[in-house]
């Protein structure tokens, strides 16, 4: 039976593994970047995926775009608009990318072609997926530049990426991603290389596009403060595992997983007393070799106990789910979160 209104994106049990030479050349070692991750987005919804570098969030986004097929072993289910793309061929994925799914990459300078004019790069998916003529696609490219807040769009359209600022390049990347009016937009760390004021402008633009175009946005970031201000729901990842998920307001105001609490304690806030120090999470993210046999956060957790080392905690709790045998309770934060909160 087909759903009347299927999710724009649904991932079920998504697992991604990479092979690399073992220590001192001893065979091949399998590294699991994503472990049985599940999430879904509905039309007009903004969902954030957050975690430190190495948590698997960007790999998850690339897998949702079908961009890892040759480089990794991907299992589980990827559904786009109710269509199962798990076993789709590369030609099928190419028809989807740019048309039904758009992606804004982390570093626009490497995502853009340095020897192509801006208008030509925006026009390429329009000609490929919409069959526009060169002249029509060029006119539409200028219109898209104006829609994403570029001043003097006709002049900028003739320029090359190296002639633009970082914020302008990211706006060009967004124009490329939304040109064919996709139902789903994946933004992978879209503000990492930008200064604070430009970051805010790009985030405001992305959220405005959700409202104006009715698309779904998967926003990937290492900054929980950014996620707290711009998303409806949040998925927290650590070492490839989803450790907490739920409505952004609930997760931010009452984090249940110690890792989520640790991320929040690292966020600068105007509400924080000036003499209160930040509390960084000790240690760093380490690669996950094979399937996890214990809590992935155990080696960095101040609340770790023997039970944490005996098996992988299940994600439990319904709408606000947490994968911890001893979740934090009764430690609500004063501030709320979410783009409607």
Q: CA 274 to CA 62: how far, in whole Å?
A: 39
| pLDDT at residue 194, rounded to an integer | 79
Mapped onto helix, strand or coil, the DSSP state of residue 104 is: strand
On whether the pTM is more than 0.75, the answer is yes
What value does the mean pLDDT take over residues 298-307?
92
As given in the structure block, the two tokens for residue 73 are 């072993």
Banded model confidence at residue 333, pLDDT cuts 50, 70, 90: very low
As given in the structure block, the two tokens for residue 61 are 């986004």
| Whether the predicted pLDDT of 330 surpasses 60 | no
* Selection from 241, 219, 266, 210 nearest residue 322 by Cα: 241
Q: CA 157 to CA 236: how far, in whole Å?
A: 38
Residue appearing with tokens 């069959």: 131
| pLDDT at residue 341, rounded to an integer | 57
Alpha helix ranges (H) inside the chain: 57-64, 90-96, 108-111, 118-130, 134-147, 153-157, 166-178, 196-213, 224-230, 248-253, 258-265
For the stretch 69-106, pLDDT in tens is: 777 899 999 999 999 999 899 999 999 998 999 999 98
3-state helix, strand, coil in the chain (%, to 5): 35, 20, 45
Burial of 295 (0-12, 13-18, 19+ CB in 10 A): buried
For the stretch 49-65, pLDDT in tens is: 999 999 999 999 999 99
């Amino acid at each position: 039976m087909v759903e009347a209104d299927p999710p724009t994106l649904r991932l079920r049990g998504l697992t991604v593994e990479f092979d690399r030479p073992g220590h001192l050349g001893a065979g091949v070692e399998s590294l699991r970047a994503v472990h049985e991750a599940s999430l879904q987005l509905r039309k007009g919804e903004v969902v954030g995926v957050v975690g430190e570098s190495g948590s698997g969030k960007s790999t998850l986004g690339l897998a949702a775009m079908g961009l890892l097929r040759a480089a990794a072993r991907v299992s589980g289910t990827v559904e786009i608009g109710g269509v199962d793309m798990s076993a789709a061929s590369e030609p099928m994925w190419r028809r989807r990318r740019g048309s039904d799914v758009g992606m804004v990459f982390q570093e626009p300078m490497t995502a853009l072609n340095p020897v192509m004019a801006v208008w030509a790069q925006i026009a390429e998916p329009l000609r490929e997926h919409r069959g526009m003529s060169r002249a029509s696609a060029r006119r539409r490219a200028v219109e898209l530049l104006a829609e994403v807040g570029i001043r003097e769009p006709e002049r900028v359209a003739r320029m090359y990426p190296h002639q633009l600022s970082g914020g302008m390049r990211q706006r060009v990347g967004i124009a490329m991603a939304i040109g064919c009016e996709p139902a789903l937009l994946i933004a992978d760390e879209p503000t990492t290389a930008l200064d604070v004021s430009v970051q805010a402008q790009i985030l405001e633009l992305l959220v405005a596009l959700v409202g104006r175009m009715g698309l779904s946005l998967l926003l990937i970031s290492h900054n929980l403060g950014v996620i707290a201000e711009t998303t409806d729901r949040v998925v927290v990842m650590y070492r490839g595992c989803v450790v907490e998920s739920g409505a952004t307001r609930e997760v931010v105001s009452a984090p249940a997983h110690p890792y989520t609490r640790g991320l929040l304690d690292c966020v600068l806030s105007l509400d924080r007393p000036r003499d209160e120090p930040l509390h960084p999470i000790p240690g760093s993210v380490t690669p996950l070799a094979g399937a996890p046999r214990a809590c992935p956060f155990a080696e960095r957790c101040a609340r770790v106990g023997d039970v944490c080392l005996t098996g992988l905690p299940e994600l439990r709790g319904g709408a606000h789910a947490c994968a911890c045998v001893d979740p934090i309770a009764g430690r609500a934060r004063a501030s709320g979160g979410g783009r409607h909160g």
